[in-house]
């Protein structure tokens, strides 16, 4: 078996050598062209392309040389457009060498030039790279700030094809900070755009980040499958840019599976590639990986040697993350042989860990994203205000036009016989004025309609985001015997939501009504979904009443500091498949159980999930279910709808009677019957609130 592994790695090295040979062949061809080119414009173009290829294929030192030659020609010719590109390529090569300070200087130069030229797309791309520098320096809030600036510019450009890199970068950032749910949202967007645009590199980058999430969740076989697919694509396309990191990721995954020998071989391969690319950052992390493998196999001397190699790189690159992991490994490696050295490195580890935590505050990242979302809401408000101003302007102009007309008519009547010829002239001029006013009115109308369309498009996009967070039909089918969902928002987006998750042997289903509806209600629903997810999947809170207690605490901490009482009413049901029990907690809304053709309104707590008059702990309720029983969960939208012959509310009593009357029907027919009944009752009246009804048959 060991002999076969050696053959595999020998083959990998042969492929690797062929890859670099192919890359060198392309570079050598372009170098010959540069050596014989005398025209400045052609030479400049080829120098910039050489610098770009060197950065992409792992030869950053040569890339710096060509980039600086190109920049010198740009400065001599005062060619600002090419100077911006040359500065970017120099910054890219410095970043490949992990010289973040020099990289930042050249990217900043490119940013200033691009702003001067009005090159909005380039400005956005440079902010991306500045964010990457911050990411390498473990300044995660700083990185997110730059990424969000770049994202905002591209969204304003309305060019979805160029958003993929932004989504991938933000997804990678959230992966690095263990915010996996947020990471998957952005990475899925990146992969979708890459597929549509047939962007193999973008798809590979997003796939790599999703593989990192699999690895973090200990789904090692899934992670290895994706990493090896990336390795195959990279070798096939002769792109050295992903090789060292991909080998390193594979090595780390094997280490986590305790497969130390194969992990060491992949780490050594990764170091070999990183040396060829002059990628000290990846080389440093690979030395840490080797140290972990050697320590795990009691080869402490080799582990310590690799830690010191990593420390030397961290000092050279000023990368605190490498130093932190090196100190941790030195502490563990000396633990059995040298207590004093172990204690010394443990103290060094804690010192640098405290520094990284203070510089990379997760709370600050959340504030940055919240500020970005608030700016979008403010922009929508400003559009509405602008629309109102434009309407008032049109009204004012029409009023002035009418006033002028009557004044002119009065004058013409008074002097009709004297100025008959003048009257004809004035009439003709008046017609011209009316035509101009009409044209201006049409233009204002067109502007208002365009603004309205932009607002509706934005809200429709928000709807797509909200619907991805609702309970998917697949998870409901997987965990419920039979069910139906009747979900009818009042507006495009909804303050009502239904959400589900599976944690170990427990399946949770929530049906909730947030304060408000439309856009404000939708924002509250997203916030409450995130707090429910946090409680169950991050804080490992298992009981429904404790989950509601946690969500209420988070709401009060975040939005009720100034007396606000925003929150939600709702029901959270927990089905324990191992114990075969059903528990729930209810805030202001009661579940309805129909058993043996009798309807029972189950207990609830008369208080909301949020700041209210009572803040007692929610009650954990138990349900005894028999085969054939049906449990209904609903919000207040159906019962509060006005309609019928006298325009009155539908009310809960009538709704519960309707559920009892239809409970023998198939669940799919129950949903369509309820919807038809709701529409008939509402008639021509406006829907007053969001409607959500879920039925579950056991």
Q: What is the pLDDT of residues 292-350, one digit of tens each?
A: 999 999 999 999 999 999 999 998 888 888 999 999 999 998 987 787 888 899 888 88
**CB contact at 8 A, 484 and 668:** yes
Confidence check: pLDDT of 189 > 90:
no
pLDDT at 381: 41
pLDDT at 307: 95
pLDDT-derived band of residue 110, with 50, 70 and 90 as boundaries?
very high
pLDDT at 373: 56
pLDDT at 196: 85
**CB contact at 8 A, 242 and 19:** no
Cα dist. 20→53, 54, 147 in Å?
12, 11, 32
Confidence check: pLDDT of 9 > 60:
no
Domain limits, the chain = 2-361, 364-464, 470-697
**Tell me: domain 2-361, CATH 3.40.50.150, correct?**
no
Confidence check: pLDDT of 255 > 60:
yes
- Rounded CA separation 449/454 (Å): 9
Confidence check: pLDDT of 681 > 90:
yes
Helix, strand, coil fractions of the chain, as percent rounded to 5 = 70, 10, 20
Choice among 127-136, 196-205, 563-572 with the minimum mean pLDDT: 196-205
Choice among 315-324, 369-378, 527-536, 543-552 with the minimum mean pLDDT: 369-378
Which among 482, 476, 498, 510 is positioned nearest to 698, based on CA atoms?
482
**pLDDT tens across 440-483, in order?**
767 777 777 777 777 777 787 778 888 888 989 999 999 998 99
- First-to-last alpha carbon distance for the chain, in angstroms, is 53
DSSP 576: E
- Homologous superfamily in CATH for domain 470-697: PPM-type phosphatase domain (3.60.40.10)
Contacts of 358 (CB under 8 A, 6+ apart): none
Q: What is the mean pLDDT of the chain?
A: 83
Contacts of 426 (CB under 8 A, 6+ apart): 408, 412
Q: The pTM is what?
A: 0.41
pLDDT at 688: 92
More confident position, 613 or 397: 613
Confidence check: pLDDT of 39 > 90:
no
Choice among 242-251, 375-384, 452-461 with the minimum mean pLDDT: 375-384
Q: pLDDT > 90: what percent of the chain?
A: 41
pLDDT at 401: 64
- Rounded CA separation 120/115 (Å): 7
């Amino acid at each position: 078996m060991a002999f076969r592994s050696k053959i595999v790695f020998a083959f990998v090295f042969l492929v690797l050598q062929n890859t670099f040979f192919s890359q060198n062949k392309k570079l050598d061809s372009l170098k010959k062209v540069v050596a014989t080119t005398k025209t400045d414009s052609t030479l400049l173009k080829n120098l910039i392309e050489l610098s770009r290829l060197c950065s992409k294929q792992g030869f950053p030192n040569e890339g710096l040389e060509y980039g600086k030659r190109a920049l010198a020609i740009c400065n001599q010719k005062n060619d600002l457009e090419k100077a911006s590109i040359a500065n970017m390529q120099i910054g890219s090569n410095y970043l490949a060498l992990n010289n973040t300070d020099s990289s930042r200087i050249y990217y900043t130069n490119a940013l200033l030039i691009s702003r001067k030229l009005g090159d909005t797309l380039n400005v956005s791309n440079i902010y991306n790279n500045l964010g990457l520098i911050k990411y390498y320096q473990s300044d995660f809030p700083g990185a997110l700030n730059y990424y969000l600036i770049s994202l905002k510019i591209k969204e304003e450009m309305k060019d979805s094809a160029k958003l993929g890199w932004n989504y991938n970068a933000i997804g990678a950032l959230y992966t690095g900070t263990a915010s996996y749910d947020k990471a998957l949202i952005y990475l899925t967007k990146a992969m979708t755009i890459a597929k549509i645009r047939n962007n193999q590199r973008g798809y590979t980058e997003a796939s790599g980040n999703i593989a990192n999430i699999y690895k973090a969740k200990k789904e090692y076989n899934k992670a290895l499958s994706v990493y090896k697919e990336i390795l195959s694509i990279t070798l096939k396309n002769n792109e050295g840019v992903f090789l060292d990191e991909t080998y390193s990721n594979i090595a780390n995954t094997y280490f986590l599976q305790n497969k130390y020998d194969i992990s060491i071989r992949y780490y050594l391969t990764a170091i070999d590639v990183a040396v060829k690319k002059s990628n000290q950052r990846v080389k440093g992390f690979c030395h840490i990986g080797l140290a972990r493998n050697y320590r795990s196999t009691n080869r402490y001397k080799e582990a310590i040697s690799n830690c010191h190699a990593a420390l030397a790189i961290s000092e050279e690159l000023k990368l605190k993350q490498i130093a932190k992991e090196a100190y941790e490994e030195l502490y563990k490696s000396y633990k059995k042989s040298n207590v004093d050295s172990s204690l010394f490195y443990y103290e060094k580890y804690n010192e640098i860990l405290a520094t990284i935590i203070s510089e990379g505050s997760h709370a600050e990242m959340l504030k940055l994203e919240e500020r970005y979302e608030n700016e979008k809401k403010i922009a929508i408000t400003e559009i509405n205000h602008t629309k109102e101003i434009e309407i008032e302007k049109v009204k004012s102009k029409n009023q002035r036009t009418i006033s002028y007309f009557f004044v002119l008519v009065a004058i013409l009547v008074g002097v009709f016989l004297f100025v008959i010829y003048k009257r004809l002239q004035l009439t003709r001029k008046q017609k011209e004025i009316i035509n101009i006013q009409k044209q201006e009115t049409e233009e204002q109308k067109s502007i208002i309609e365009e603004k309205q369309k932009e607002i509706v498009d934005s809200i429709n996009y928000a709807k797509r985001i909200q619907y991805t967070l609702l309970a998917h039909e697949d998870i409901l089918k997987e965990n419920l015997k039979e069910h139906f969902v009747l979900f009818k928002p009042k507006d495009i987006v909804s303050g009502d939501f239904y959400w589900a998750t599976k944690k170990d042997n427990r399946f949770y289903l929530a049906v909730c009504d947030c304060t408000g509806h439309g856009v404000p209600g939708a924002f509250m629903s997203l916030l409450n979904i995130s707090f429910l997810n946090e409680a169950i999947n991050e804080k490992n809170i298992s009981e429904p009443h404790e989950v509601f207690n946690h969500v209420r605490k988070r709401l009060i901490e975040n939005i009720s500091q100034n007396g606000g009482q925003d929150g939600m009413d709702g029901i959270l049901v927990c089905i324990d498949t191992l114990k075969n029990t059903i528990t729930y907690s209810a805030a202001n809304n009661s579940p309805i159980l129909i058993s043996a053709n009798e309807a029972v309104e189950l207990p609830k707590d008369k208080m909301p999930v949020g700041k209210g008059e009572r803040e007692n702990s929610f009650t954990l309720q138990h349900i005894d279910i028999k085969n054939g029983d049906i449990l209904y969960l609903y919000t207040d939208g159906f019962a509060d709808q006005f309609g019928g012959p006298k325009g009155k509310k539908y009310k809960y009593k009538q709704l519960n009677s309707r559920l009892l009357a239809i409970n023998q029907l198939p669940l799919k027919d129950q949903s369509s019957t309820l919807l038809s009944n709701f529409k008939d009752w509402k008639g021509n009246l406006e829907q007053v609130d969001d409607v959500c009804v879920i039925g579950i048959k056991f």
